[in-house]
Amino acid sequence: MAYDWQPVYHDPPSNQWFGFQAWSMERVAEYYQVTGDASAKAILDKWVSWALSQTTVDPSTGGIKIPSTLKWTGQPDANWSAATGMPPANTGLHVSVQDYTDDVGVAAAYAKTLAYYAAESGDAAAKQAAKDLLDAIWKHTDAKGVSVQETRSDYKRLTDPVYVPSGWSGKMPNGDPINSSSTFMSIRSFYKSDPDYARVWAYASGQSSTAPVFTYHRFWAQADIALAMADYGRLFNE
């Protein structure tokens, strides 16, 4: 298997987002809870210890600080065969946390990972961290669901060009022309009817230096939160 440190997308590098860690390790933890597989436990023991060392949560106030952007350096060990058992320790591959987040969707996926791991291993610290994360998440409920405010500097990229080979052209379903001069915004003119478009475009086009702040209720996040609450209750009868 080839090693690619940015296997899904490159802009930004996919492997720099802690959310992908939480989601993939959740699957390992679910497998471990069902099977008790010692190899899965070995992976989880190391990952959970690292993740908890990078986590701060206050269930009484809703304060959440979990990893967000990761930085990878080095390379994994080059060779490994399943016949020899677990792969080597990858002592030349390292990760550091560049910044942190209070993203409730990622926090919920992380809580599920901790809950499944704790249910099988009996790790008290992981169980408590899962409960604290869920209690903190629930402090951010509103009329629509669960969310926190986000400052979105990435709206600067509405003016980014979209690569279309020279000589190629077409139309979007709404009639916007597609050609080698297209930008993200030029092929999405329907965004202009959004009531928040003016302040977003003012920032994207440089008319304002203030990044827009939004309270998003992403469907995947709401689903992860609901599932995390249900899984914790089912696993621990609490």
Residues involved in catalysis: 58
76: preceding bond cis by omega (within 30 degrees): no
Tell me how far apart the alpha carbons of residues 139 and 133 are, in angstroms, rounded to a whole number. 10
Tell me how far apart the alpha carbons of residues 18 and 49 are, in angstroms, rounded to a whole number. 15
Helix (H, G, I), strand (E, B) or coil at 202: helix
Helix (H, G, I), strand (E, B) or coil at 134: helix
For residues 174 and 192, the answer to whether their CB atoms sit within 8 Å is: no
3-class DSSP string for 25-47: HHHHHHHHHHHCCHHHHHHHHHH
Tell me how far apart the alpha carbons of residues 137 and 102 are, in angstroms, rounded to a whole number. 9
Closest C-alpha to 112, from 30, 221, 21: 30
* Cα radius of gyration rounded to whole Å, the chain: 21
